[in-house]
Structure 1
Amino acid sequence: MSSRSSILASVIIVVVVFSAVGGFIFMTNPYVPAKIAVVVSEPGFGDLSMADQVLAGLEALGGDIIVDYQYFTAADQAAAQTILETNSASTEFDLIVVIGGELADELQTVAANHLNQKYAFIGGEVVANNVYSATFIQSEGAFLAGALAALTCVGDVNRTGTSIAGIVASVATDPVVISLIAGFKQGFEHANTTYNLNVTLLPEVYVGSYNDTAEAESLALDMYDPDLGNASIIFAPVRASMQGIRNAMIQANATWYNNTLRRPLAIAAEGDQDYYGLPNIETNVGSSWIITSVVPRSDLAVYDVINATLWNEFEGATLAYDLDNDLYDPELEEFVAGVALTRSESINFQWVPLRFFDAIDDMRLGILNGTITVSETYP
């Protein structure tokens, strides 16, 4: 995964695959491309999270099959449901893919009224014969991120650490955010206990939005401030507000950390945002202050289900993707984890020693073999 991977968040996306003769259109008439309408809720693409991650999957599919994409933005969930109902009633679509767990109720209602319509739900679950659901156990990835944060915030001879970490998140009621924070806290505590780190996690704060750069910057800056939070690292599942976290890192470095061994580090989530910590986000040069991202491979999930549908292999079922290697990556030509931590070329191993990642790999195996249990909620 490149450090500039496309990224997306748990915003609402509805993808509709058109064709007159079903999935075999690609074999019978290669000159008529499939049409895929992509409807995204605000803030739409450019959310630096799951929406952009799904877009990467759609574009990858387009590299294998000639596809005509049409993009639309829905103002809210009600508008998205109207799109679902209208397109389902038209009966002209092979598949409607809904992305964003917040649309479960809307999809449940529409799918029950259109039993012959096939749906794919990425990032949420609806149990029905005509719905394929792909969920991601992001709490497991966040557990590893929390452990990495605990190890990193202590510091060493190469980087000053305060033994303090913080959390700046988007919306407190978002189920994905709740799961991410729960996993992060459990991983932080696990590493603290296992390695006797004596580290502290500040109370989490919320932007209250998925796209508020100014508020995210203010909250993160307070956490980095040596006279306030004094955090060495921040976990930031904030979606499109990530620009605010970047601004805070730049300001903290210029105000308090310049010409010192201290760095304003962060961990991203819901998409590969490692590049947002680079000196210049337009180039893949230098070391990133974002040391890793918790990534649900929604790009591969949407690639799989659309491809299966077009080849008449759709099945109504629920698949829960986790840290195991259970998704095929056509670019790498191998199976990869459904939820993963990035390890990009922009990592500075003086700031985050390789032994920390070795410890994280051991914890991943512990989660997979059941010796470490991760809950979706935190007490």
Structure 2
Amino acid sequence: MKRNPFLLVGVMLLVGTLLFAGGAKETEATSSSDIKIGMILGVGGLGDLSYNDLVYDGLERAQNELGIDFDYVEPQSIADFETFLQQMSSTKMYDVIISVGYDQVEPLKKVAPQFPNQKFAIIDENVDLPNVASFVSKEEEGSFLVGALAGLVKKTDSVKQNNTLGFISALDIPLLDRFYAGYEAGARYVNSDIKVVANYVGGNAPFSDITTAKEIALKQFSQGADIIYHAAGGSGLGLFQAAKEKDFYAIGVNSNQNVIDPDHIMASMLKRVDNAAFVIAQSLVNGDLKTGGLSVLGLASDGIGYTVAESNVPIDEDIIAVVEDIKDAIIAGELVVPNAHKDVEAFLASNSY
């Protein structure tokens, strides 16, 4: 793995200079050691203790277990995506180029048709092109589980007796609306008295604005929300700071963020984009990576989950047992979680705990 070989290249491309180009990559790799993957991370890059770190971990695992190699870049702005896609594609070095995140959809739609023999993959969105493999997740399912957990804790916690929960999202977009829908539906499914307040980070850095996320968390806490869930990438670190300062509970997202502050982070919703990255690499090794299609990862495929591991927040075992029963019902198809907030009321009207 090589870190960021294209940052300088990207700058030079802007002034018309191509620093290097690789030879044509064979269509079929003869062994896993011949396989090379390029990855364009989301804005915010590594160190977010969340989404980008997870995808990186998935390819690092593939490197260790399968013997593949990979390069990656850390864009500083959305404007960098197209530049990096063009540069990586032009080298003809990569068996697949992975785009990470919803905001790479339009750049990928523009660049991929220019390189019809190059395979691409996108994690977290669906791009309907013949040379793109798309991977999306059922975020609503994992969010439903942590929502149910929070709703049940509200019923039993001797200190946090009010019925308000908080939700912080980076942006008001369909992808993140799935988190919101699942969380509120899960909480109200087990506790009909629950109210959820929601706010959005927004701005120029919605996934890395710790200050704004902290301000939102403090505002929600002042409104009575003493369990707050985030879907805001690196911005979520601001929630954790507020939880520690005011001594309330937080719920992490994507990776096991409980380890960041075990005394205040009660659980994390696991979005296993690391598994998606590993599956892409494994498919290349096996020679069966299929482009032009969509793979959906949920609870049933271990693409989504939740964990209370490494948290010191006391949660009754009976509560965990109920959440596990709900998880089994979702996997069995007995409980279909809404994937849009507008559908939460209809779900609750037709499903009772």
Decide: shared fold, TM above 0.5: yes
Is 1:167 matched up with 2:178?
no
Aligned to 2:13: none
Q: Offset of 1:63 from its aligned partner? A: 1.0
The residue type paired with residue 280 of structure 2 is V
Q: Offset of 1:365 from its aligned partner? A: 2.2
Distance 1:71 1:121 in 2: 14
In structure 2, the gaps of 5 or more residues are: 1-21, 343-353
Distance 2:198 2:172 in 1: 10
Q: Does the 8 Å contact 1:274/1:293 carry over to 2?
A: yes
Q: Does the 8 Å contact 2:38/2:88 carry over to 1?
A: no
Change (3 A) 1:68 1:306: closer
Distance 2:73 2:306 in 1: 31
**TM-score, normalised to structure 2's length?**
0.82
Partner-residue secondary structure (3-state), 1:93: coil
Aligned to 1:267: 251
Aligned to 2:211: 214
Distance 2:220 2:71 in 1: 41
Q: Offset of 1:45 from its aligned partner? A: 0.8
Change (3 A) 1:192 1:291: same
Q: Does the 8 Å contact 1:18/1:95 carry over to 2?
A: no
Among the aligned pairs, what percent are the same residue? 25
Pairing 1:1-379 to 2, within 5 Å after superposition = 20-21=25-26, 24=29, 26=31, 35-157=36-158, 159-173=159-173, 175-193=174-192, 198-201=193-196, 203-208=197-202, 209-224=206-221, 228-253=222-247, 264-278=248-262, 288-316=263-291, 317-324=293-300, 326=301, 337-348=302-313, 351-379=314-342
Distance 1:38 1:372 in 2: 36
The residue type paired with residue 194 of structure 2 is V
Q: Offset of 1:65 from its aligned partner? A: 4.1
The residue type paired with residue 235 of structure 2 is S
Partner-residue secondary structure (3-state), 1:218: helix
Q: Does the 8 Å contact 1:18/1:36 carry over to 2?
A: no
Aligned to 2:14: none
Change (3 A) 1:218 1:155: farther
Distance 2:94 2:137 in 1: 26
1:293-343 CA distances to partner (integer Å, 9 max, x unpaired)? 11221111111112221442221221101110x2xxxxxxxxxx1111123
Change (3 A) 1:119 1:38: closer
Q: Does the 8 Å contact 2:54/2:274 carry over to 1?
A: yes
In structure 1, the gaps of 5 or more residues are: 1-16, 254-263, 279-287, 327-336
Q: Offset of 1:100 from its aligned partner? A: 0.8
Aligned to 1:329: none
Give the CA RMSD over aligned residues: 2.4
Q: Does the 8 Å contact 1:161/1:232 carry over to 2?
A: no
The count of residues paired between Structure 1 and Structure 2 equals 317
Change (3 A) 1:35 1:309: closer
Q: Offset of 1:36 from its aligned partner? A: 4.3
Partner-residue secondary structure (3-state), 2:270: strand
Distance 2:322 2:312 in 1: 16
The residue type paired with residue 96 of structure 1 is I
Greater helix percent: which structure? 2
Q: Offset of 1:222 from its aligned partner? A: 2.7
1:95-142 CA distances to partner (integer Å, 9 max, x unpaired)? 111111222222223222322111111111112332211110101111
The residue type paired with residue 319 of structure 1 is S
The residue type paired with residue 186 of structure 2 is G
